[in-house]
Structure formats: structure tokens, C-alpha cells
Amino acid sequence: MGNRGNMKLAARSSLTESPANSDLRNKAIRFLVPFARFRKAFAEAPTPRKINLVIGCLVSGIAHLLLGEIEIGLGFLIGYGLVGSLLVYVIVSLGTGFLVLPAADALIVILILVCGFFALWYGGFVKCVEDNLKLNAKKKLHGSYIAHFLVALTKRIEAFFEQYNRQWHLAGKKNKTLLALSWFVCGIPLFFYERALQALAFLLVQLLYIFYMIARGASDLFGLFTLRQEGVMSSNTMVYGILAACFTLFFLAIYLLNLRATLIAVKEDNEEIPGPGIRTQARAMVNEKFYLTALFIPVLGALVFTVIPLLFMILVAFTNYSGNGSWAGNIVPAPNLDKYLSWIGFGTFARLFGDANNLKDMLTVFSWTMIWALLATFTCYFGGLFFAMLLNKKCIKGKVVYRSLLVISMALPQFVSLLVMRTMFANNGAVNKLLLQWGFIDWLQNVGWISSLDDFVAFWSTPTIAKTLIILINMWVGIPYYMLLMSGLLINVPADFYDAAKIEGASRHQIFRKITFPYIIYMTTPCLITSFVGNINNFNVIWFLTGTNDGKADDTDILITWLYKITIGYQLHDYNFGAAIGIVMFVITAAVSLIVYQRSSSYKNEEEFR
């Protein structure tokens, strides 16, 4: 509620303020703050840290390493180094003519890289200044997370053994036996302390694990390192190996839990504290520990069908799992994928960046992906806002009818509407027939825009037209969704904002610009980010409209459809190459959205804004 009051105040004050673009000015000022703070930190710091600050200002990351924040420093350093060297590499190869890109694509790629480079530098710089200010104020830094973790781990292990020793000396014969037994059999000792539920679960896990390891797990796990199973190298080996590794980790965790639980049980028995009993334990699982029960399926599902495949993909990028026989001598073509596989280190990345054609394909596809994601997100967003404002007007009759009709385009399964569109705009499709009937084709031929041999406009094979059409058709698909979203939000704009504005005598235009629009932007920032990332990965629209089976990077291909082509689609099976591109792409999307998401206000005030 406090938030509302603030916004109201802000709305009022910005209405009375001079029309200068105060928002932009605020942003610029906020951007410059760290530089002022840098001066302050520099003045107060002792000489060694003066040097540290200067280094932090020059190279992102090193300063943090020197201050002991190892992970953050490494993160910045690696990101900075990678993006920087990529930027230099692209510019140099453009300069030497190794890489030939259309001017627009080159510009966009360099622009994005420069932005990323600058963002990393700025982020590192801000963090370095903040850290030094903290040190100036005699506060302590967090330090290395891994080191903290290791220290905490050692402490816990020490504490465990200390407790274990003490209880061992206190324990009677029965307790000693059971305590010793817990090292060998999970769960069984717990049966003797009224913890049957836990005991059963632990025992079951151990039995399953032993059974699995004997049946196949051991050879699977071994196969992960050699990629060789029963004399054959196989891609399956890798997946099964990862599965076996995950199961082993899980079992280890259960094993440790078992040790701890037994120790606690023995301790309670020694000190004659009554145990919790089966009933209480069962009740806890549906009450204060309900999250353990409820999260079991989602976590297991995400592990098996998302995390393991992700690991697999990352590992594949470092193997020769590929149908491309022309590149390295030891690669066997696709149909024999099951037979041959070995680790090749960074070879795939060398192939991606070292080959002019591959690099060119990747950069052109990358630049179109970014343009597509931006345009697709913003056209639908503002289109939806426009539609919602239009249908929200009092003078429109039959709003329900319009809205329902528009919703049809959202309700149709995407493959239906997109394939229909594709047929309509085909060379002999309905649109071309209409153009022919109305005489436009003749006119276009006379003007010379299409050759006199064709009696159609080649919508899908002319890159610029195809790209424009894709954006337009995506608007057709996406605008109704945003329209519903925006009309939901427009109703929710607190009425007192409007009342306040009307009393101040604001015009409709002003009300929109100063109240409605900021409110909607504020509310939908997370949604904008999700939809931007969603559009980077928007397979359906591009594939159903212009998907072809040539396996090359077409002009309209975005990264994901290109990946689909070179991996699953059409038997190219260039998996390691696809995986390398996938990694590059994943890093970009994850970085962009994490940075924006964590900076967005609705994430920061998760607790406050409810």
C-alpha cells in the first residue's frame, strides 16, 4: 500500500514539473553516481587499495580477485575476457577480410558486443567501487563463496565426529552396534528408534542404488569417462553415465543424512529424550515440512528431463558427436552415431570460430535473432496496448464481440494459423492470386520490381519481404494476447491516480504519458523480459512459416531454428556443433535476462509488494 501512495505522489509531482524529460535525466544521474563515488573511495583509500581501484577501473574482475572475492572476480574476468576477445576477433577478421558480413549485420553484432563489453566493465567497476567503500568504512567483504562453503563443511564434519565420539562413549552395547551399523546399512538402525518412516525411505534408496549399480550403474559410470561400453563407443553411454553420476550423488546425500539421523537418534536415546515417533514425523511431512513432499516430483522431473539433458548438451560440445565427416579425420558419418564417440576438447569451438563460413553464419543469424526478438516483442507489446486502449473507449459498441473475435487468433493452435498463413502467401497462394486478379502483379512487373517471367511475388524467398511478413504475422498471433493482458491492467490502474490528475487539469494525452504508461511499464517489466527471451527461442513462428529442409542457415533463420536444422531436423546430426552454438546462445540469453530481471523493481521488493 505504501507503494501506491508513492506512485500517486510521483504522478502528481511529475505532472506539475516542467515537461523536461526528468526520467531520462534521473537515469543519467544514477548512471554517473559510481564515478563520483569512485573519487570518494579513491581519496579515502590507503595506497595499496588506490592501486586496486585503478586496476578495477581498467580491467574488470582483477580487482575483485585481489580483494578475495574469487568467484565474482573470476566471473567478471572471464565474461570480460571472452566478450572482449570476441569483439577484437570480429573486428580484426572484418578488417582483414577473413569474415565478410553485410554492413548492417556487422554493425549490429559489433554494437551488441560493445554493449555487452561495456556492461561487464561497468558492472565490475561499480562492484569494485562499492567494495572499496565498504573497506574504507572498515566493513568486511563477503569473501569467496567456495572458501566459505569449504570452511563450513569442515566445521560440520568436525562437529559430527566430535558428537559421534561423545555419543560412542556414552552409548550402551545396543546403541554402539547400531551406530556402527549405520556406516554400512542405511536406515536399518533407525527402525529401533521409532523412526520407521525415515528408515524405510533410506533403506529403499540404498537397496535400489545397489541393485542399479550391479545391474548397469557401475559400467555406465565408468563409460562416462571412456565413452566406451561393452566394446562400443556410444552416445547413449554419455547420457547413461550422467544419470549414473546423478544417482550416485543422490545416494551419497542420502547416506550422509542417514549417518546424521542415526547419530541424532542415538543421542536422544542416550540422553533419554523421547523420540518424535512415527506419527509426528508423518504429520510433519504434510505440515511444516510439506515442501519436501510437494517439491519431490518437480525437482526430480526437472533433474531428469532438464538438468541431465543440459549437462549432456554441454558435454557433447566437447566431443566429436557429429554427422559432419569432412571436418576431422576421425569422425564417422551420421548413421553410425551409435558406434563412435570421443572427447576432442575445444575442437568444436575452434570449428565454430575458426571457419569463416561458420562464423559468418553464426553472426548473421545472431544479428537477425536479436532484431527479431526486439521487434517481435515491441510490436506485439505496443500493438496490444493500442488495441486495448481502442477497445477500452466508451464509444466502442460491442466490445465483447471484438474481443472474442480477436481471441480466436490466439486460441487457434499455432501450427494451424501459421501453416495457413504460409499457404496463403505461397507463390501460388491466395494472396498472389488476388494480386494477380486486381492487376498489381502487372503493375509490379511494369515497374520492374519482379521479373516479367514470374506472375507472383515471391514472399517467402525474398529475404526482406519474408522478414517483414514474419514480423507482421507474429503481430497477428501475438497482439491479442497482449490486448487481453493490457486490458486487464488498464482496469487495475488505481482510480485515484486519474482523479488526482483530473483535478490538476491534465489533458488525456498527459494522463496517458504520465500515469497509464508508466504504470503499465512498471507492472509488465518482468513480462517483457520473459517475452523477449521467449522470442529469442521462438521456434514455432519462424519454423512453420519459413522452415525448409536444406540444413543451411537461411536469411530468416533465428538461432534456434538453425540449431534445429543442423541437429534433429533432416538428419544432419551435427550435434556437437549445435551444442557449441547452444552454449554460446544460452550464455547470452541467461546473462541478459538475469541482469535485467534482478535489477527490475518487482523482483527486489518481492516481500514488500504483496
Partner 1 sequence: MEIKARLPERRDPSSRRRSQKAGRVFEAVWSNALAMLLTALWMVPVVWIVCKAFDGNNAAGYVSQTFFPTSWTFDNFIDLFANTPFLTWLFNTIVIALINCVATTLVTILTAFIFSRFRFRGRKALMNISLILGMFPGFMAMIAVYLILNMVGLINSIWSLLLFYIAGAGLGFFTSKGYFDTIGKEIDEAAMLDGASQVRIFFQIFLPLAKPIIIYTALLAFMAPWTDYILAGLVLSGDSSKTVAVGLYEWMSSTKINIYFFDFAAGCVVVAIPTVALYIGLQKFFVSGISAGAIKG
Q: For the segment 287-346, give every residue that binds partner 1 (CB under 8 A).
A: 287-288, 290-291, 294-295, 297-302, 304-310, 312-313, 316
Which distant-in-sequence residues (6+ apart) come within 8 Å of 48 by Cβ? none
The phi, psi pair for 504, rounded to 5°, reads -75, -5
Instruction: Give CA–CA dist 134/67, Å, rounded.
Output: 12
- Taking the least distance from each CB to partner 1, the nearer of 199 and 560 is 560
For the segment 514-533, give every residue that binds partner 1 (CB under 8 A).
523-527, 529-530, 533
Return the residues of window 106-125 that contact partner 1 according to CB under 8 A: none
Question: Of 409, 445, 461, 510, which one interacts with partner 1 (CB under 8 A)?
Answer: 409
- Give the shortest CB-403-to-partner 1 separation in angstroms: 7
Site for partner 1 in 552-591 (CB under 8 A): 559-560, 563-564, 567-568, 575, 578-579, 582, 585-586, 589-590
Residues between 206 and 235 with contacts to partner 1, criterion CB under 8 A: 235
Q: Are 64 and 73 in contact (CB under 8 A)?
A: yes
Q: Which residues, at least 6 apart from 146, have a Cβ–Cβ distance to it below 8 Å? A: 70, 71
Q: Which residues pair with 229 in a beta bridge?
A: 232
Measured CA to CA, the distance from residue 376 to residue 370 in angstroms comes to 10
Map residues 376-395 to x or -, x wherever contact with partner 1 holds by CB under 8 A. Answer: -----------x--xx-x-x
CA distance 219 to 223: 6
Report which secondary-structure segment, H or E, holds 595.
helix 575-599
Q: Smaller CB distance to partner 1: residue 177 or 601?
A: 601
C-beta closer to partner 1: residue 132 or 516: 516
Q: Does 494 bind partner 1 (CB under 8 A)?
A: no
Return the range that interacts with partner 1 (CB under 8 A); candidates 140-148, 355-363, 366-374, 595-603.
Answer: 595-603
CB of 608 to partner 1, least distance (A): 11
Q: Does 602 bind partner 1 (CB under 8 A)?
A: yes
Q: Shortest Cβ distance from residue 470 to partner 1 (Å)?
A: 15
Residue with cell 547413449: 236
CB of 318 to partner 1, least distance (A): 15
Q: Which residues pair with 232 in a beta bridge?
A: 229
Q: Please, which residue, 250 or 539, has the CB nearer to partner 1?
A: 539
Minimum CB distance to partner 1 smaller for 256 or for 412 = 412
Residue number, 184 or 291, with CB nearest to partner 1: 291
Residues 236-295 close enough to bind partner 1 by CB under 8 A: 236, 239-240, 243, 283, 286-288, 290-291, 294-295
362: number of Cβ within 10 Å? 21
Does residue 597 bind partner 1 (CB under 8 A)?
Answer: yes
Residue 254 in grid coordinates: 542420502
Secondary structure (3-state) at 452:
coil
By C-alpha distance, which of 292, 373, 429, 434 is closest to 592? 373
Binding track over 463-492 against partner 1, x by CB under 8 A = -------------x---xx--xx-xxx--x
* Alpha helices in 213-345, H assignment, sequence order: 218-226, 235-270, 277-286, 290-294, 296-302, 308-316
Spatial separation of the C-alpha atoms in residues 431 and 348, rounded to whole Å: 44
Residues 67/100, Cβ–Cβ less than 8 Å: no
Q: Which is nearer to partner 1, 230 or 288 (CB)?
A: 288
State the distance between the two ends of the chain, measured CA to CA, in whole angstroms.
Answer: 9
